[in-house]
Amino acid sequence: MKLLRLHALPEGFNLPPTAVTIGNFDGVHVGHQAMIAALQQTAHEQQLKTLVMVFEPQPLEFFKGLDAPPRITAWREKIELLRDLGVDYIVSVRFDQAFRSLTAQAFADLLKHRLNAQSLIIGDDFRFGCDRAGDREFLINYGFPVASLPTIEIDGGRVSSTRIRQCLQDGDFVQAAHLLGRPYTITGRVQYGDQIGRTIDFPTANVALNRLKPCLHGIYAVEMQTLSGATLPERVNGGVLGYAPDRLYGAGHLGTRPALEGIVPLTWRLEVFLPKASANLYGLRVKVRFLHFLHGEIKYPSFDALKDGIQDDVRKLLAWREDHADAGV
């Protein structure tokens, strides 16, 4: 797989003839996976290379900022998921004022002359161009062979990023996994935080979110694994085993930490506490899988109340682990 950034492609850069699909691909869910499978079939039949165009930031993030829908997957997670599906090229488009001002004609010209598109696979609701004049019929009239993928349904409903966000916000990780085709996870590098957790005997791994805001908000049962080098149990002293031998079980907090208002900035954080464990995980890239929603964030009146609340959360989450021996299956 080759990752290309459209704004960095030199003039005269030549791609081989391609079959192209376009979209946000937030979550790379089973509907997106069906789109990629159709793209690969078309490419095989026509002896083309597969190319997926994605946008960064996602268009609604450009238009709405923090009011845009939360991300299911960060940019790097999305790229890695598409890579694992076996596409030949991913073209990341910088969605800015210049790009959003492209007419439908200019966008079609870009597909033809910059990306060497010979065939297109698009969703049934795909539109493009600053005036939203571009659609399937426009592309056909332009001269592209165009196939539209019908809606994919699961459990009586359309598979969509919007539906998955709602499942995640509702704490329905089983249904989210059905729609995603895999358990929901967040990956990121463990970085230095405010060092407050260690002062109340709950040191946490502060995992970079790499998005404006996440889909989740609250306290969760999680399991964590490292994505490089030795497994997490090999790197950590003690700990509670997760649902596979390379993972540890923990308590995850994802939110803005209202209990620390006035002490630290109320920014979005993913913090994971590993019970009965001692380790230095700084710099490691980790994957956090979400298993169970315990409760929303609480604005505790004092540090002592915060400490008591965390102790109670950890006790309840360890009890949940004992009661759900097969939750990782």
Q: What pLDDT shows up at residue 85?
A: 97
User: What pTM was estimated for this model as a whole?
Assistant: 0.92
Distance CA 174, CA 292 (A): 9
Distance CA 202, CA 170 (A): 27
Q: What pLDDT shows up at residue 266?
A: 67
Q: Where along the chain do its domains lie?
A: 2-158, 183-321
Q: What pLDDT shows up at residue 32?
A: 96
CATH of domain 183-321: 2.40.30.30
The topology under which CATH files domain 2-158 is Rossmann fold (3.40.50)
Q: Is 121 exposed, middle or buried (0-12, 13-18, 19+ CB in 10 A)?
A: buried
Please, what is the angle between helix 161-169 and helix 173-180, to 10°?
160
For each successive 10 residues of the chain (329 residues), what is the average pLDDT? 91 90 96 96 97 95 94 97 98 94 94 95 86 87 91 92 96 97 97 65 88 94 93 94 95 80 71 92 95 92 85 95 79
